[in-house]
Chains A and B, each alone.
Chain A
Amino acid sequence: MTRNLEIAVDREELRALVADTLERSPAEVTDDADFVGELDLDSLMALEIVVRLEKRYRIRVKDEEFASITSLNGIYDLLTAKLGGT
């Protein structure tokens, strides 16, 4: 139980956030598209995504958790784990 439980993770909102950061259309950001291999993610974009996630979901992402920023599914799982599950 965390104080953030009231913030549900909307997968489409998340997709839009990632697409905006990667300068891609939301349709390109499929659930399992590999950010680095398919969507040209670099380490600066990864940092920008994390900063935006921290702001939006009021969480703190540890450096080692950057490894989860590999696909939309990866981020979704990280967020739901951090926010106390769905």
Chain B
Amino acid sequence: MLVPLKDSWSLVLGVSSGMGRATARALAAEGGNVIGIHLDTADGQEAAGELAAELRERGVAAHFFNRNVAAAATRADLVPRIAELTGDAGLRVVVHSVAFGSLLPFVPPPTATDVPTATVTAVPDARGGGTITARQMAMTLDVMAHSLVYWTQDLLAAGLLRAGAKIYALTSAGSSLVIPSYGAVSAAKSALESHVRQLAVELAPRGVAVNALRPGTTITPAFRKIPGSAQFDDACLARNPHRRLTRPEDVGEAIVVLSASDSSWVTGNVIGVDGGELIGT
């Protein structure tokens, strides 16, 4: 049965940028209230504040928290707060759109010069350069994949995920492709897709649907941090039968459409939201 999103509550992890931001806007446009979590220094914090104000202008509630989504303390503090905010309604939609990982090769290239190094955020690694360390690998997997499981556990325990609720995790085609310096993030996306399948099966008896969304190549701040990303653009544009790249708004709209039903029959999938980019030639 189709059910309107008006007056529903959604939780967006990674609300301040890219897909999370566009999804918050799309949900608010349907009259849905948004709780957002993000981790940003001053400029990003201001931008997030402006986004929250913009959502409120649409007549919905918007509560943003500048906290680390991967920290247990964040869940301990905010899950009770989310329960307070949503009251009897619980959460209709949970979106995991968290980009924070180490973009480093696993082994040095044959020539030591021109080693591509970067992190997804603007924050340089404390001991940057070279090849990925165990700590960087664990951090990337924890924040970009495992945090989905821990949030789901705690939200469920708090009674916030009821029949009809939808959980979405943002993955990428890079989960099964090899992209320079993307190894840890690729592993995180593979783990994320695996977690989605496991959660979908474990939550099916409760009527909660869990899916991964796989957007096509989208120009977001996180994408721009991938070494060599500028060279992807033209190739992906040429391959996309729509002759344009994916926009964050495409993802927001997909989430709204998929969340319009109280059915949990669409679950456990990796759903392409790419205009056919991956099957284009």
User: Taking A36-B127, A48-B71, A70-B126 as contacts, is the C-beta distance between A43 and B41 under 8 angstroms?
Assistant: no
- 1/0 per residue, CB under 8 A from A, across B46-70: the answer is 0000000000000000000010101
Distance, CA A45 to CA B135, complexed state (A): 12
B30 at the A/B interface (Cβ < 8 Å)?
Answer: no
User: Taking A63-B122, A66-B124 as contacts, is the C-beta distance between A43 and B102 under 8 angstroms?
Assistant: yes
Question: Per a CB cutoff under 8 Å, which of A36, A48, A60, A67 touches B68?
Answer: A48
Evaluate contact between B39 and A48: CB separation under 8 angstroms.
yes
Distance, CA A66 to CA B70, complexed state (A): 20
Which residues of chain A are near B45, meaning CB under 8 Å? 51, 54
Evaluate contact between A54 and B42: CB separation under 8 angstroms.
yes
Q: Looking at the assembled complex, report how far the CB atom of A61 sits from the nearest CB atom of chain B, in whole angstroms.
A: 6
Question: Can you name 28 A-B residue pairings with CB atoms under 8 Å?
Answer: A20-B73, A21-B71, A36-B127, A40-B135, A41-B126, A42-B135, A42-B139, A43-B102, A43-B121, A43-B124, A43-B126, A44-B39, A44-B70, A44-B100, A47-B121, A48-B71, A50-B41, A50-B123, A51-B39, A51-B40, A51-B41, A51-B66, A51-B68, A54-B42, A54-B45, A61-B41, A66-B124, A67-B124
Sample of 8 more A-B contacts, CB < 8 Å, known A36-B127, A51-B39, A60-B42: A35-B126, A42-B139, A44-B68, A45-B68, A47-B123, A51-B40, A66-B123, A70-B126
